[in-house]
Amino acid sequence: MSEYSAALLEVKNIGKSFGAVRAVRNVSFQLFPGEVVALLGDNGAGKSTLCKLISGAYQKDVGEIFWQGKKVEITSPDVASQIGIAMMYQDLALVDEVDIPGNIFLGRELIKKIFGIVPLLDKHTMRQETEKLLARVKINIPDINRPVIKLSGGQRQATAIARTLHAKDAKLLILDEPMAALGVQEEQKVIQLIKTLKEEGRTILVVSHNLDHVFSVADRIIVLHTGAVAGIVDAHKTSREEIVGLIVGGGKRNDQ
Ligand SMILES: Nc1ncnc2c1ncn2[C@@H]1O[C@H](COP(=O)(O)OP(=O)(O)OP(=O)(O)O)[C@@H](O)[C@H]1O
Ligand SMILES: [Mg+2]
């Protein structure tokens, strides 16, 4: 029962189809506490779909998911968040016309009661909490009260990450291409942030197309090819060539 019981998350033989497209096929892997695992694969390989199966955004057709050794049914993002899983989606899902605090607290707005009865949005606390979260992401946004449509790509990304961090006590953070829209400096800040989250003992599953980023943060690498696992490798015991080979479908390796 050594490795098995120590896994934070285990997925076993999960699959998901969209009509005739088998987006995720018979995928199995484990994630352990405090590790950074990169999820790689070509466009359309099934990375986002797999992440969404874990975050409750999609429901698996087959397979099992275990959380801290217990079988779970992650039937919605709310269920995921209750057990300690938070995801930052590739398509960001920010509401353009709403400001940063509004986006971070979307769907879980803080309410205060005036005279103990009249419910009102607690904008002051939401703003304070937003400032704190942004300070952690370390990306400078001069005016958090502007609608997010007026922000740069990097600032939007920072907002999306801050929103994921806000999910209370998330033990597993799933980041789907968090560096995609960023400048070089901002990329480095996100990499630093991932390292900090790891030091806090969280597990991070991060999707990226950038092998430099992957090798700078990942402990292990999972490669998907046409929806199936092509490789699960120790990031310190592989090479760019091997990873590229797995991505394009030129082999198999599974260290797990
Ligand atoms: N909601 C959906 N409805 C129908 N097909 C979908 C849906 N989501 C994904 N697919 C299909 O499933 C496959 C996997 O898509 P997915 O988005 O998971 O790939 P990905 O690895 O995240 O790609 P990318 O690197 O481009 O983000 C693709 O063939 C895609 O067209
Ligand atoms: Mg994707």
**Domain that includes residue 13, residue range:** 2-254
pLDDT at 2: 41
pLDDT at 136: 76
Q: In what order do the strands lie in the sheet with 62-67?
A: 21-31, 9-18, 62-67, 70-72
Ligand 1: which atom is nearest the Cα of residue 58? 1
- Can you give the three-state secondary structure of the chain, one letter per residue? CHHHHHCCEEEEEEEEEECCEEEEEEEEEEECCCCEEEEECCCCCCHHHHHHHHHCCCCCCEEEEEECCEEECCCCHHHHHHHCEEEECCCCCCCCCCCHHHHHCCCCCCEEEECCCEEEECHHHHHHHHHHHHHHHCCCCCCCCCCHHHCCHHHHHHHHHHHHHHCCCCCEEEEECCCCCCCHHHHHHHHHHHHHHHHCCCEEEEECCCHHHHHHHCCEEEEEECCEEEEEEEHHHCCHHHHHHHHCCCCCEECC
Q: What percent of the chain has pLDDT over 70?
A: 95
pLDDT at 248: 93
The more confidently predicted of residues 73 and 111 is 73
pLDDT at 1: 39
pLDDT at 144: 84
pLDDT at 191: 87
Place of tokens 């996100």: 190
Average pLDDT, the chain: 88
Ligand 1: which atom is nearest the Cα of residue 50? 18
Can you tell me the mean pLDDT for 125-151?
Answer: 83
pLDDT at 183: 75
- Residue 4, pLDDT > 50, answer no
For 62, residues 6+ apart whose C-beta sits below 8 A from its C-beta are 13, 14, 15
How many domains, the chain?
Answer: 1
Residue 165 alpha carbon to ligand 1 centre in Å: 25
pTM for the model: 0.86
- Please report, for the domain that includes residue 249, its CATH number: 3.40.50.300
> Could you give the CA distance from residue 236 to residue 46 in angstroms, rounded to a whole number?
24
Q: What is the pLDDT of residues 20-78, one digit of tens each?
A: 999 999 999 999 999 999 999 999 999 999 999 999 999 999 999 999 999 999 999 88
Residue 89 alpha carbon to ligand 1 centre in Å: 13
Q: What is the pLDDT of residues 191-215, one digit of tens each?
A: 888 898 899 899 999 999 899 999 9
Ligand 1: which atom is nearest the Cα of residue 42? 25
* pLDDT-based confidence at residue 182 (cuts at 50, 70, 90): confident
> Could you give the CA distance from residue 103 to residue 234 in angstroms, rounded to a whole number?
37
Residue nearest to atom 7 of ligand 1 (CA): 18
Cβ < 6 A, ligand 1 pocket: 18, 21, 23, 41, 43-49, 90
* pLDDT-based confidence at residue 186 (cuts at 50, 70, 90): confident
The more confidently predicted of residues 172 and 249 is 172
Residue nearest to atom 8 of ligand 1 (CA): 49
Residue 235 alpha carbon to ligand 1 centre in Å: 25
pLDDT at 168: 63
> Could you give the CA distance from residue 204 to residue 34 in angstroms, rounded to a whole number?
8
Pairing between β-strand 9-18 and β-strand 62-67 as defined by DSSP bridges: antiparallel
Q: What is the pLDDT of residues 83-109, one digit of tens each?
A: 999 988 776 667 888 888 888 887 777
